[in-house]
Structure 1
Amino acid sequence: MIRQLFLLLLFFFTIAKITAQDSKQPILSTASKQVSTFTIDAPQLQTTKKIWMYLPENYATSKNKFSVIYMHDAQNLFDAKTSYSGEWNVDEKLDSLKAQVIVVGIEHGNEKRMDELTPFKNEKYGGGKADNYLEFIVKTLKPHIDNNYRTKTKKKNTIIMGSSLGGLTSYYAILKYPTVFGKAGVFSPSFWFTKDIYTLTENSKKIKPKIYFLCGDTESDDMVSDVNKMEYLLNSNRCYCLNLNEKKIIKGGQHNEKLWRDGFVKAISWLGY
């Protein structure tokens, strides 16, 4: 069922995009004044990427350094004008908390989104180019952010977070780059896309990053069981004396921005920044 849901989301994304373009009444931007954007070359992806930056309100007046959250699908994080299915309200939530953290949102590649956010190829749907995408983050984007902003650069201060395919690739990121990303927010992960992600978990050395899992119990027939399976494999590869996992299964939660928006603050509060 989740496969059909995934295809429906792609369909609605396309329709919503066309509708927004044809609409006579423009959608106003809802991004806070703490949000800005820039573009950067992404040689690993042979393209340029638009990046959304959230800076704390006191960034300009302080000399502090800040932890960084790297998030996927930036179009849906801050602004109703660019979101096709509702936004996460990341900026408003962080503003209200006066959170001392920087958020770096990476726009997805539209028709290339599936390629960028999947670590292994699916026999039916293709994909499998997350290695290039993560290499862009680690070797191009993160050095740029660290060189141009006051950031705490250690892994304990570097979080990666996303939902659906973004949840899948966020989880993959901590396996592939455990010395870069010390924490991950894994929302409604599309573990169904590839069984190889389970095999990689089983074969990885001790997995030390902190992980916050979130999903709804009405997302699909296999979402909860997939997350439970991954949690079991993960705990088999951890030191049980450490509290490195948190899992929230939301009753009635659906595969949408509302679920992820409502779970954002609890996730970053537990992960710590």
Structure 2
Amino acid sequence: MWIKCFKFFLFRKSLFLFSVLMTVVLDAQITFKIVELPRNTNQNPKLFLASNLNNWNPNDSQFEFKKDSEGSLILTIPTPSQKVEYKITQGNWETAEDSPNRTLEVSNSSKTVELKIQNWTQPKEKKHTAASNVKILSENFKIPQLNTTRKIWIYLPPDYEKSNKKYPVIYMHDGQNLFDEFTSFSGEWSVDETLNEIFSETGESAIVIGIDNGGETRLAEYSPWNNEKYKTKGEGNLYLEFLTKNLKPYIDKTYRTQKQASKTLVMGSSMGGLISLYASVKYPTVFGKAGIFSPAFWFVSKDLKAYLNKNKSNLKNSKFYFVAGKNEDETMAPEIETVNESLLKKSVPEKNIVVKIDEDGTHSENYWKRELKQALIWLLK
């Protein structure tokens, strides 16, 4: 009898230890502690961790360092399930730490990471770089669905004023970063210079409509679904309702456009890549082609997969161009491949999909700028 009791005791003890270990794993945390700052740092700096965990937001309040009881600047987050790439910023990219991205391999145990920041980047004098055929369509175009307004840019082809031609239209997100270095936060795409170059070589071009992002509301507006972890209420459907019911009708009425879906493109990067894919799947009779650069599919991965599986849209005439780099988040390429397989299952012809994964590709405007010309030439065919 005592043997049975002893075995039962050992079983209960093992079960208890297992539960304790599981609790430790589930509650594991990473604490980032800043132990050294450059001499030119403000006396009471506001510092943030920008990373692949928060879509590289340089001033995310959920990733702001706070002083502990000893006066040290610390940030504690739950241990993520993926490798972390990150940088420390002072709230913007112009004054982030002047060094390559940091990386952190995660484990199931809690840890403290001590950070020494050697230098901050020095703000460079920005210049206006937009070409003469780029204009501001409106500083405050109304978005009734979101009860707000937004700055809208327009690029007109070099021969627009000299011809009666109608043109394809490209709708692009993050308008601040498309044409003008002065308004960009980490470099511009040079969309205008790229299209002017394509025109000089081929005579082909397109109208581009750039919609500024909403800053603090960017994650919400570019996500079709909620994300509880980042306390984001998805407003992507409202944003797309604005594009399809308000902005596109206005553009088609005001400018000489080719209105059909095969001549209407949607393009963006990161969260803009996510909403571009979603727009082309939800509204294939509006957006017939999509340029999807380094998409943040991870932000709503489960919802996106479920949506693609159940969506009944006819996509046999749609075209998709994916770009990403191996120096981005390690889930980037696999997520794109999963979406690619879903599109093929939905009868999208293989010839209508390009997936370009570059060994040296990074999550940056410079990389997207480099890849833009090749993408536009294919999408405008």
- Hey, what does 1:111 align to over in structure 2? 216
- Hey, what does 1:102 align to over in structure 2? 207
- Hey, what does 1:190 align to over in structure 2? 296
- Hey, what does 1:231 align to over in structure 2? 340
Q: CA offsets per residue over residues 2-58 of structure 1, 9 Å max, x none?
A: 742624555559424789xxx997522000001000222111111111111000111
* DSSP 3-state at the match of 2:337: helix
Q: Which has the higher contact order (CA 8 A, sep 6+)?
A: 1
Query: In structure 2, how many angstroms separate the alpha carbons of the residues matched to 1:201 and 1:89?
Result: 32
Query: Is the contact made by 2:181 and 2:187 (CA closer than 8 Å) also made in structure 1?
Result: yes
Query: In structure 2, how many angstroms separate the alpha carbons of the residues matched to 1:37 and 1:68?
Result: 16
- Hey, what does 1:74 align to over in structure 2? 175
Query: Is the contact made by 1:116 and 1:130 (CA closer than 8 Å) also made in structure 2?
Result: yes
Query: In structure 2, how many angstroms separate the alpha carbons of the residues matched to 1:263 and 1:9?
Result: 24
- Hey, what does 2:187 align to over in structure 1? 86
Q: Which runs of 4+ in 1 moved over 3 A?
A: 7-14, 16-19, 23-26
- Hey, what does 1:59 align to over in structure 2? 160
- Hey, what does 2:110 align to over in structure 1? none
Query: In structure 1, how many angstroms separate the alpha carbons of the residues matched to 2:156 and 2:91?
Result: 31
- Hey, what does 1:213 align to over in structure 2? 322
Query: Is the contact made by 1:217 and 1:250 (CA closer than 8 Å) also made in structure 2?
Result: yes
- Hey, what does 2:262 align to over in structure 1? 156
Q: CA offsets per residue over residues 55-98 of structure 1, 9 Å max, x none?
A: 01110111100000000001000000000101000001111111
One-letter code of the match for 1:255? H
- Hey, what does 1:128 align to over in structure 2? 234
- Hey, what does 2:379 align to over in structure 1? 271
Distance 1:161 1:13, change over 3 A: farther
Where does the alignment leave 5 or more consecutive residues of structure 2 unmatched?
1-49, 61-88, 97-121
Deviation at 1:184, TM superposition (A): 0.2
Q: Are 2:302 and 1:203 equivalent residues in the alignment?
A: no
Distance 1:232 1:110, change over 3 A: same
Structure number with larger C-alpha Rg: 2
Query: In structure 2, how many angstroms separate the alpha carbons of the residues matched to 1:75 and 1:184?
Result: 20
Deviation at 1:131, TM superposition (A): 0.6
Distance 1:139 1:227, change over 3 A: same
- Hey, what does 2:272 align to over in structure 1? 166
One-letter code of the match for 1:75? Q
Query: Is the contact made by 1:2 and 1:222 (CA closer than 8 Å) also made in structure 2?
Result: no
Q: Normalising to structure 2: TM-score of the pair?
A: 0.67
One-letter code of the match for 1:35? V
Distance 1:137 1:8, change over 3 A: closer
Query: Is the contact made by 1:162 and 1:185 (CA closer than 8 Å) also made in structure 2?
Result: yes
Query: Is the contact made by 1:88 and 1:260 (CA closer than 8 Å) also made in structure 2?
Result: yes
Distance 1:59 1:207, change over 3 A: same
* DSSP 3-state at the match of 1:186: strand
Bigger CA drift: 10-19 or 60-69?
10-19
Query: Is the contact made by 2:95 and 2:123 (CA closer than 8 Å) also made in structure 1?
Result: no
Query: Is the contact made by 1:66 and 1:150 (CA closer than 8 Å) also made in structure 2?
Result: yes
The alignment of Structure 1 onto Structure 2 pairs a total of residues equal to 269
CA-atom RMSD in angstroms: 2.1
- Hey, what does 1:31 align to over in structure 2? 130
Percent identity for Structure 1 against Structure 2: 42
Where does the alignment leave 5 or more consecutive residues of structure 1 unmatched?
none
Bigger CA drift: 71-80 or 89-98?
89-98
Q: Normalising to structure 1: TM-score of the pair?
A: 0.92
Q: CA offsets per residue over residues 216-260 of structure 1, 9 Å max, x none?
A: 0110111111111111121111154x5211110011211011121
